[in-house]
Structures are given as structure tokens and as C-alpha cells.
Chain A
Amino acid sequence: AQSVTQLDSHVSVSEGTPVLLRCNYSSSYSPSLFWYVQHPNKGLQLLLKYTSAATLVKGINGFEAEFKKSETSFHLTKPSAHMSDAAEYFCVVTKGGYKLSFGAGTTVTVRA
């Protein structure tokens, strides 16, 4: 079954420093992968998606992720964290057709 594992339940960074959120997936075929962000009491917002095109995917707000098939990873990075990046981040994989499987989530806090 297709699934994702987010390796960190919580990440704390200082403003202006890099952010790395780790995600590993398991899939019996070439999946589509996504990163979504959820700010407190807000809806889900798509940061970026990989759908078998370029392996380095650039998203909104300076985020990017690299699909590495050999490592079954899809880590999310941002070179410089901003206070507004404090939120919950979900790594998501397709699990057959258009159904999605969400990771457990990573809470990002940003220190001033």
C-alpha cells in the first residue's frame, strides 16, 4: 500500500535559517507526491507537487522539494525561514487513482 512517513513530528528553527522537513514514501509504482501546509484554524494549501516531471519541484513561498526515487524520499526545504512559515506541514502520496494518503504531519515553529 502506498504511504508516507514524515520523519519529524516537530521542527523548530530560527528565523532566517534553513528549514528541512523529511518525508519518505512507499509505493509499488511511480507515485505523485505533494506537500500541503495548514496554518492554525485555516484550510489546506498546496505548496508543491511532483507528478513524474522534473525531480526538483519549486513551490510557493520559496519552498522546494526533490523527488529521489533511489532513496524513496521527497524532502521539503526552504533556505530561509520566516515567522509566517509556522504551521503544520503534510507530505501526501497518491494511493491508487486519485485517492490520497497523508503523512502524520510536521509542526514547524519559528523562533525570532
Chain B
Amino acid sequence: SAVISQKPSRDICQRGTSLTIQCQVDSQVTMMFWYRQQPGQSLTLIATANQGSEATYESGFVIDKFPISRPNLTFSTLTVSNMSPEDSSIYLCSVVSDQNYGYTFGSGTRLTVV
């Protein structure tokens, strides 16, 4: 299955600033997803990022706040913009690593906004 390198693993940021999270996959994958896990909560899908098309956002998430790039089949970034303490969460990327619903998850980025 695919291997994902997600960076940074953690960061502490000032409110009002932005952070870009990167996910690098060791193989070409069509579908990539970004999730948020708020403290003590489950994972919530932010958006689907397929190469060659605009990211598709879930209800409650907007491009201005969470812009996503997907320049090729092995790489994607998620930016958390104009951060507030409510954005403090773990952010994870995920890819479909095989057509039989095999998924690989990144190790996550633990973001704290102060």
C-alpha cells in the first residue's frame, strides 16, 4: 500500500497567521482526502482533492479558509488560513491506495493556535 509523508508533524501558530501542511505519497494516486480531528473528537472530512480538478469541499468548509493544492498525483497541500484557536486540531491526509477500498492515512499534523 501507499506510504504518506506528512509535514509538519506539529506546529504552534499565532492567531491570524496561516499554516500549510504537505502530504507526499510514494506512488501515484488519484484520490486524496483531507480530514480534521478536533480535540477529543472523531475525524471530519474537509475536502476531496483529485489531481486535475478543483478540490470539493464538504458542508461547513470553504476554500477561502482551507485552500488546497494538488499539483500532481503524488503531492497535495492544505492551508489553514487566518487561524484562530478553534482551528487547533489534528489535520490528516488520506489516499485511496487500492480500488478495493484500501486507504492510507498520513500520520497527522497537530496544530495549536495561540
Contact = CB atoms under 8 A, between A and B. Distances in A.
Interface in A50-68: 51
Interface residues of B, number: 18
Most chain A CB within 10 A, of B31, B41, B101, is at B101
B107 A43 contact: yes
Chain B interface, DSSP helix/strand/loop, else mixed: strand
Q: How large is the interface on A (under 10, 10 to 19, 20 to 34, 35 or more residues)?
A: 10 to 19
B103 interface: yes
Given A43-B106, A100-B33, A94 B101 contact: yes
Contact of A100 (B41, B103, B107, B108): B103
A49 B41 CA distance: 22
B53 interface: no
A90 B43 contact: yes
Interface of A: 32, 34, 43-44, 46, 49, 51, 90, 94, 97-105
Interface of B: 31, 33, 41-45, 48, 92, 94, 96, 100-101, 103, 105-108
